[in-house]
Amino acid sequence: MIFSSAFSRRAKLERTSVVLVALCLATSAAVPQTAKAPQEKAAQQEPSGLPSLPQSPIEIAEKNGTALRMTLTDLTKLALQNNLDIAISDTNEELYSQKIRQAYGPYDPVLTITPGVQTRRQPNTRRDNAATGGDPFNQTKLLTWNFRYEQSVPTGGTFTAQMNSNRSDTNQAFALFN
């Protein structure tokens, strides 16, 4: 007897569930399919009998277009690109490398070249330094080429090499070298 009552209850439940499934299919086929708003879809997905939840401020902002969903990686990249402190640090790095170069600046070599041309004319006032060819003026031409190389040494000294070159030409009659 117990077996037959349990079996009959199960059969009733199966018939009831078959009837409910058929009714659901019939009603869904009878309702015309239309485009539904996302809020209606969300309301339909909720179990019946419970009130629908209000939208969060984030959902409202996304709907209005004032919010943007981003991954953590995108957010980090955007923050690093727009960070003024990082941009200043990049500039400071270049500045510090220039300061290091400047610190070694006194040890840069210096090459100085000094050319010079000079002409002097003086009237003949004495016989011992008179000009040749009856010229009333003594004329002296001087050509100068001076070279100087200077290098500071990090230990505190200075290395200097220089060469001075002078050439003169005169029209005096008693000059030993011309």
What phi-psi label fits residue 123: left (phi over 0), alpha (psi between -120 and 50 degrees) or beta?
A: beta
pLDDT of 75-123, one tens digit each?
Answer: 898 888 888 888 888 788 888 989 998 888 888 899 999 999 999 988 8
Is the pLDDT at 31 greater than 50, yes or no? no
pLDDT of 55-80, one tens digit each?
Answer: 888 888 888 988 888 899 998 988 88
The overall pTM is greater than 0.75: no
**pLDDT confidence of residue 22:** 52
Residue 79 tokens read as 């923050």
Question: According to DSSP H, which parts of 31-140 are helical?
Answer: 38-45, 57-64, 72-81, 84-103
Is the pLDDT at 35 greater than 50, yes or no? no
User: What is the mean pLDDT of the segment spanning 6-33?
Assistant: 50
Spell out a b/e string for 29-44, using b for 16 or more CB atoms within 10 Å of the CB, else e. eeeeeeeeeeeeeeee
User: What is the mean pLDDT of the segment spanning 143-163?
Assistant: 93
**pLDDT confidence of residue 1:** 43
Of 165, 159, 152, 151, the C-alpha closest to 111 is 151
Q: End-to-end CA distance of the chain, in Å?
A: 153
Spell out a b/e string for 136-173, using b for 16 or more CB atoms within 10 Å of the CB, else e. eebeeeeeeeeeeeeebeeeeeeeeeeeeeeeeebbbe
Is the pLDDT at 146 greater than 90, yes or no? yes
User: What is the mean pLDDT of the segment spanning 6-32?
Assistant: 51
User: What is the mean pLDDT of the segment spanning 35-51?
Assistant: 56
In this structure, how many other beta carbons lie within 10 angstroms of the beta carbon of residue 128?
Answer: 7
Q: Positive or negative CA dihedral for 49, 51, 52, 58?
A: negative
Is the pLDDT at 29 greater than 70, yes or no? no
Listed range (24-38, 42-56, 68-82) with the worst mean pLDDT: 24-38
